[in-house]
Amino acid sequence: MVYTDLFFLLALLPLSVIFSFFDESAEYKNLISVIAGAIFVAWGRPLWVLLIFLSFIFDWGMGLLVGKFRQSNKAASVIFLMLDMLWNAAIFILYTRGGAVHLPDKLTLRESLIPLAMGYYVLRAFSYVFDVYKGEKAEKNPLYLLTYMLSFHFMMTGPVIRYKDISAQLRERRTTGKMISDGLDNIVFGLGKVVILAHAFDLLKQSGLEGGDVTFFGCWLGMLAFFASAYFTLSGLCQMSMGMGLLTGFTYKKNFDDPDSKLLFTGLVKGYNTSVTDLFDEMIVSRFRYKTVPCAIAAFVCCMAVAGWYSFSKPAFLVGAIVGAVIVLEKLVWGKKLRAMPGLVRVIYLVVLTFLIFSVLYFGSTYGWRKWALGLVGVGDKGLISHQMKTVLLSYLFAYIIGVICYLPWLKDQVIRSVNKLSKKTKELYTFVNTSKTILKALLLIMCVAAIITRKM
Amino acid sequence: MAFKYYYEYLQPENAPEMPEDKRGDEELDEITQDEQRSRAQFVNIAVLTLTLVLCAMIVFVLRKNDYSRVTDEKTLDKDSFVSGEFFGSLEDDVVSHLALSDQIVRTDDLMSYFCGIGNKLMKSEEEDISSQTGGAFRDRQENSLPGRQEHNEGGEHKVVTRVSSDEDDTKQTKKTKKTKATTTSVTKSVKEMTSTTTQYGYYTTTTTKETEETTTTKATNHNAPSVTTKVTTAPTTTTTKPAPPPAANTSMEDAATVTKTQSQTKTQTQTQTQTQTQTQTKTQTQTQTQTKSETQPPADTDAVSVTGESTPDAPSPTEQDEPQEPQG
């Protein structure tokens, strides 16, 4: 099951939230979360729940062992940590990168409905044991850990919540009216990002990059739309996840930082799916933080690891290597100089690097990439814009404008500030603005559900 | 009288005037704002919850059939439970038996006016755009783009669900995968074509000119512009067909779509998993033809293909080896 399934959105999610209100105790709420999470995982393939339970028992045991030996026998705790890493890596490769290794057909779950979450699942599982190794207390009560591992709002595409950040909330949490309201808002906005914006940008990408002719705007806007589509898909799912967390009393920090040119390319990369990059950073780079050269090497290795986690393919590793190299160079060579330059220069630097590096993920071959890169400067173009792209642009114009507003922080702040300013003028205006917002959110929800149904017809 | 003294006691003569306590007003303002905020939150929760419940009722309660049999083929037994096919087909069944499906499609159309100017983009064109694979940036000589295959199936997220290939895979395997994707698209299109044609009367005229290798897709719907795309297929057929309706979502927006697509076409893709490309292409073409024969409009129904494929009436072995894509 995924967040945009009708059964999840209109049945499992509301029912689990309603049931969780029947009792105030955290234990009861945890039980509901575990049951709902098991249904969520088991929907496509019921036997998958067994794997999740097996994995949970292993991680729980490893956590206890690492916690026990971390003081008395460091070597033993390292061995257990490595064992857990191997175990999770094996699950990860087996169930999400089946094509990358030669495995018998029976071992690769080719049509599984769950693997989308497995990358995040194993990362979360390993992060728990890693935190225990680093000094956090090992969890003795399996139900708390099971809630952490199995709850559907931790399940999909991040953020990768660390157990140390959430363990207190697993023991005691309350849901307020504000949390429910914000949670619903987050779910609706996240759904809108995934169903409307990502789809609109995907169509733009296809009209620009997958049409018959190379056009100038096709190259620029098509690639921009490719990035936007990926961004809105992930950030939308994360926002939904946070909304679901709020509905059940969990709060956690957001997973996508606003772009800031002062942080350069390093900041841009780290700001995308921050919980994942932070975890890899902590595991690989943190111990070399104060040594320049080892830190740079570790940053490079970290980029390769993140790339491998995202996609176990040659283009991904190539992109990882280039990103790692740029980060190292920013750290050692031109970072300080660039920060001192005007904002426009930094923005151009970021746009050029982002376009040239991450586009490799799209093309995967030098032929297409070279043709596209030449098309960016007008070489080989058969015009400015194709008819299809024009049609798509007009048809989704408002969606693109909203997408741009959502992405650019200063523009988003400006809009929010002006709306707030308006609502504060009088009591009537406050009511009017808030009612309008609510109606728009309800319309957005209807729009998303109708779009999901229509696309599945 | 007693009140008089009481008043004097409270405010004796020549007493200095007490300053007004501004903190009280501020607190009062805060309380009022809190109250307003709480009211707004309550309205927000109530409206969104009601909307959600309404949507759930429309989807799950108002149905054309009951839940006793999930689909015509899938019933709950040990095999279908363990394999997950039963659950996979539940959502398909819910969607296909919606009592208000026409209204939902109309709502979707209506809502799409919020997305852009004039809502010029017809669903059929969306389908065309979605089904584009390859295009100008595709290397025809290499005939394989590892990253591209991955991208088409959903980018970094859907990579996870991808059955992906080893680097040493042969060309044949890669071709098979591409054909598989095309088949899904075609099947969905034909399937959806039925409803659109009967409900709205969209008709699409496809004309292929031999010299230019160009397919002109022209929709006679109220406001749809005509779109011209070039195709790689040998231009031999002139076709008129009902326009394909809401697009099969092959984008990377949503993992559900990938898994959904897989489950929707499960029966068909069972044959597709075979590695022989030609056999597979035949199978899909036959399936397509059968579906068409059920859904074709009374006239102008010679050969139908959304992707420019030729029907078994005029097959071309060399074309069938290649994935059928609008190009040029």
Chain-chain contact of A102 with B150 (C-beta, under 8 angstroms): no
| ipTM attached to this prediction | 0.85
Q: Assess whether pLDDT exceeds 70 at residue B10.
A: no
Q: For A124, phi and psi rounded to 5 degrees? A: -65, -40
Percent of chain A with pLDDT over 90: 22
Q: Give the CA distances from residue A310 to residues A3, A420, B153, B157, in Å, rounded to whole numbers and listed in that order.
A: 20, 39, 14, 8
Spatial neighbors of A139 by CB under 8 A, at least 6 apart, are A60, A63, A128, A145, A163, A167
Q: At what angle do helices A343-363 and A264-271 cross, to 10 degrees?
A: 50
Report the alpha-carbon distance of residue A270 to residue A273 in Å, rounded: 7
B285: amino acid identity, one letter:
T
Cβ contact, residue pair B55, A391, below 8 Å: no
Q: What is the pLDDT of residue B50?
A: 94
Q: Is the pLDDT of residue B165 over 60?
A: no
Cβ atoms A361, B151 nearer than 8 A: yes
Q: State the DSSP string of B211-240.
A: TTTEEEEEE-STTPPPEEEEBSS-----EE
Among the listed residues A309, A215, A403, A230, the one whose alpha carbon sits nearest the alpha carbon of residue B151: A230
Q: How many interface pairs between A and B have CB atoms less than 8 angstroms apart?
A: 329
A97-106, A295-304, A340-349, B209-218: the lowest-pLDDT one = B209-218
Contact check, Cβ <8 Å, B44/A441: yes
Going by pLDDT thresholds of 50, 70 and 90, the confidence category of residue A287 is confident
What DSSP assignment string belongs to A110-159? TT-S-HHHHHHHHHHHHHHHHHHHTTPPPP--HHHHHHHHH-GGGTSS--
Contacts of B115 in chain A (CB under 8 A): 196, 200, 395-399
Residue A251 is predicted with a pLDDT of 86
CB contact under 8 A, A457 and B192: yes
* pLDDT mean across residues, chain B: 52
CA-CA-CA-CA torsion for A291, A294, A295, A301, nearest 10 degrees? -170
Q: What is the mean pLDDT of chain A?
A: 85
Highest mean pLDDT among A246-260, A389-403, B86-100, B267-281: A389-403
- The H helix count followed by the E strand count for chain B is 13, 4
Any chain A CB within 8 A of the CB of B249? yes
pLDDT tens digits for range B228-262: 343 334 433 333 333 333 333 333 333 333 333 33
Mark residue A307 as left, alpha or beta (left: phi above 0; alpha: psi -120 to 50; beta: remaining).
alpha
Q: How far apart are CA A240 and CA A119, in angstroms?
A: 18
B-facing residues of A in 240-299 (CB < 8 A) are: none
The residue count for chain A: 457
Are B41 and A178 within 8 A, CB to CB?
Answer: yes
What is the three-class DSSP state of A381?
Answer: coil
The residue type at A361: L
Question: What six digits make up the tokens of A165?
Answer: 């950040």
Least Cα separation, residue A301 to chain B (angstroms): 20
Closest CA to A455 of A265, A114, A200, A107: A200
State the amino acid at position B173 in one-letter form.
T
| Euclidean distance between CA atoms A63 and A84, whole angstroms | 9
pTM over 0.80: no
In angstroms, the CA A411 to CA A79 distance is 50
* Lookup: tokens for A68: 């026990």
Instruction: Give the residue, A327 or B191, on which the prediction is more confident.
Output: A327
Strand partners, B204: B219, B241
- Cβ–Cβ contact A427 with B under 8 A: yes
The reply to whether omega before B298 is within 30° of 0 (cis) is no
> Does A165 have pLDDT greater than 80?
yes
- Three-class secondary structure of residue A194 per DSSP: helix
Q: Which residue has the tokens 């719907």?
A: B221
Q: Which two tokens stand for residue A301?
A: 């290795």
pLDDT single digits (tens) A347-373: 888 888 888 888 888 887 788 888 888
